[in-house]
Structure 1
Amino acid sequence: MDRRLFLATALFGLARIPHAIAAERWQMLPATPPPIAGRSARAEINGISLFHVETGEGSPVVFLHGGLSNSDYFGLQVPEVARRHRVICVDSRGHGRSTRNAQPFGYDLMTDDVVALLDHLQIPRAAIVGWSDGAIIGLDMAMRHPDRVTRVFAFGANTQTSGLKPDIDKNPTFAQFIARAKTEYERLSPTPGEYDQFLQQIEKMWETQPNWTDEQLRAIRAPVLIADGQYDEGIKREHTEYMAATIPGAGLLILPNASHFAFLQDPVLFNAALLDFLGS
């Protein structure tokens, strides 16, 4: 399906959903799903131990979570996608069950981790499904490793630091997420007592990265869908629209009555959009 037609069709369907069904759903942070069932393993790459889970068969799809979180957050998406695809769900370096080293966090470094994981798994090319930092990594892959990416579903991304809203941490929902992330880090991480240092390192990355130019975004040739929630706590709407307008042929999808956590708040609608894009 043409990506522009996909957008028009999806938005027409969304407009028909009664508002009352999902009133204030965007203000809630549903529970993190249980760990994803599948074949879990570790890849020793780039000086770290990268945890990942595989399930399903078919063309490969890599799921990349947002900053501070872990692969469990995609627990409502992976079983649906795995009906048609080989799914690889990753804990990014320093997140979840994966380790980190002394290298400063950077999107280019985490992108190189994903490429190294694909090499380890002998996967030539894969679709990328990314949320927040994971979506940024997916776009970075499409720019710097175009031969390894078939398509990118980028939810809740930014491509410039100016695309972030100020005082994100003061938003009640996002503050709740940060508090939850600490608890999950302490439970899952190989370095459970280092959350505060980890948080400081991630926040430093957020303050300075990414800052891609229009020229860099226009170099993307893979099919891309730029998606976000109507009430994203951290990403400016005009920035989301800018990304979709700048990346050649990219689609734009805004999920109604949902936020940066739409995949938890409205998994049925999120999954329908995701499966449609992966199958188009």
Structure 2
Amino acid sequence: MNHDTRRLPAPGGQVGPLWVVTRGSGPPLVLLHGNGEDHHVFDRMVPALGAGRTLVGIDSRAHGRSPRGDGPLRIATMADDVALVLDLLGLPSVDVLGFSDGGNIGLELAVRHPGRIRRLVVVGANLFPAGMNRSMRAVGRVGHALLSVLAPVVPRLRVPAERFALMVHDPCLDPADLARVDVPTLVVTGERDVVRPEHTRLIVGSIPGARSAVVAGVGHMVPVQAPDRLSALVTAFLADGPPDEPSGGTAGATRANP
């Protein structure tokens, strides 16, 4: 497989609509962060993940150093942004690690742009807002309601209000759509994640051959709370033979302990 990374900005730069940072050399691994964050959420994982790989950190629109852009702020739109950036970088197929909304973006990318992902790891992902637990949904509703009132009179709150809107209205993935995801996929959650366990099982069961892993003793912020254990899971999964090799025929489940 050709891993020509000569177009990658080093260490960082604007690529089309988004800010992109890179580090290392070798097969590319795209890192997609969560709501209200930027690529730095993966900082503690960089030393382990970057061995023999080019890490490509992307700030989603209206996050980090990426501009807001035009059109709606939706998970599907963000996935289209990533596909465009990959085109501009000349990367036809990449491994993807997405955390939280970044995992949702990764799932949308796999559904909306078949063939762009080689292997996919999603951490703390959900298909729709009801996939989160009751407390997290309440936080989203209250934050959205408050910021929606303040944003018209405090312009700097408009983007945060849109981000909270994502928690209330997005993503909007139909589990049936995941049957079209034909790439090896690992679905990771924290033991005390805000994503409901039954919802994670729905994601795993909807993606043909998907594997699952639970990181013991942590909540939703797995890349920050357990960077070494998550890095080990990701590295092992990405190294598990080429994508066309069978992995046993059934979904597997593992548990990453302290």
Q: Does 1:142 align with 2:110?
A: yes
**Residue 240 (structure 1) shift:** 0.7
Instruction: Find the partner of 2:85 among 96, 105, 117.
Output: 117
Gaps of at least 5 residues in structure 2 are 1-9, 144-153, 241-258
**Residue 87 (structure 1) shift:** 1.1
Q: Are 2:186 and 2:210, in contact at CA under 8 Å, matched by a contact in 1? A: yes
Q: Does 1:42 align with 2:14?
A: yes
Hey, what does 2:174 align to over in structure 1?
213
Hey, what does 1:259 align to over in structure 2?
219
Q: Are 1:125 and 1:149, in contact at CA under 8 Å, matched by a contact in 2? A: yes
Alpha-carbon distance between aligned partners in 1 of 2:100 and 2:208, rounded to the nearest angstrom: 20
Alpha-carbon distance between aligned partners in 2 of 1:111 and 1:64, rounded to the nearest angstrom: 10
Q: Does 1:204 align with 2:176?
A: no
SS at match of 2:77: helix
Hey, what does 1:152 align to over in structure 2?
120
Residue by residue over 1:220-258, the C-alpha shift from the partner in whole angstroms, topping out at 9 and shown as x without a partner, is 1011101010001x2111101111111110001010001
Hey, what does 2:244 align to over in structure 1?
none
SS at match of 2:183: coil
The number of equivalent residue pairs is: 219
Alpha-carbon distance between aligned partners in 2 of 1:195 and 1:226, rounded to the nearest angstrom: 35
**Residue 194 (structure 1) shift:** 5.3
Residue by residue over 1:88-134, the C-alpha shift from the partner in whole angstroms, topping out at 9 and shown as x without a partner, is 00111110111113422111111111111111111111011000010
Alpha-carbon distance between aligned partners in 2 of 1:156 and 1:58, rounded to the nearest angstrom: 27
Q: Cα 1:105–1:277, aligned 2, differ >3 Å: closer, same or farther? A: same
Hey, what does 2:26 align to over in structure 1?
58
Instruction: Find the partner of 1:239 among 196, 199, 217.
Output: 199
Alpha-carbon distance between aligned partners in 2 of 1:79 and 1:146, rounded to the nearest angstrom: 30
Q: How does 1:67-78 map to 2 (within 5 A)?
A: 67-78=35-46
Q: Are 2:130 and 2:137, in contact at CA under 8 Å, matched by a contact in 1? A: no
Alpha-carbon distance between aligned partners in 1 of 2:189 and 2:81, rounded to the nearest angstrom: 25
Alpha-carbon distance between aligned partners in 2 of 1:169 and 1:138, rounded to the nearest angstrom: 21
Over the residues paired in the alignment, what is the CA RMSD in angstroms? Answer: 1.9
Q: Are 2:31 and 2:58, in contact at CA under 8 Å, matched by a contact in 1? A: yes
Q: Are 2:137 and 2:167, in contact at CA under 8 Å, matched by a contact in 1? A: no
Code of the residue aligned with 1:197 in structure 2: it is R
Instruction: Find the partner of 1:276 among 223, 236, 253.
Output: 236
Q: Cα 1:170–1:118, aligned 2, differ >3 Å: closer, same or farther? A: same
Alpha-carbon distance between aligned partners in 1 of 2:207 and 2:138, rounded to the nearest angstrom: 31
Alpha-carbon distance between aligned partners in 2 of 1:96 and 1:169, rounded to the nearest angstrom: 24
**Residue 170 (structure 1) shift:** 6.8
Q: Cα 1:44–1:272, aligned 2, differ >3 Å: closer, same or farther? A: same
Alpha-carbon distance between aligned partners in 1 of 2:12 and 2:48, rounded to the nearest angstrom: 18
**Residue 270 (structure 1) shift:** 1.1
Alpha-carbon distance between aligned partners in 2 of 1:168 and 1:108, rounded to the nearest angstrom: 21
Higher helix share: 1
Which structure would you say has the larger RCO, counting Cα contacts within 8 Å and 6 or more residues apart?
A: 1
Alpha-carbon distance between aligned partners in 1 of 2:122 and 2:211, rounded to the nearest angstrom: 10
Code of the residue aligned with 2:15 in structure 1: it is A
Q: Are 1:81 and 1:275, in contact at CA under 8 Å, matched by a contact in 2? A: yes
Alpha-carbon distance between aligned partners in 1 of 2:110 and 2:156, rounded to the nearest angstrom: 31
Hey, what does 1:182 align to over in structure 2?
none
Q: Are 2:61 and 2:68, in contact at CA under 8 Å, matched by a contact in 1? A: yes
TM-score w.r.t. length of structure 1 = 0.74
Alpha-carbon distance between aligned partners in 2 of 1:102 and 1:42, rounded to the nearest angstrom: 16
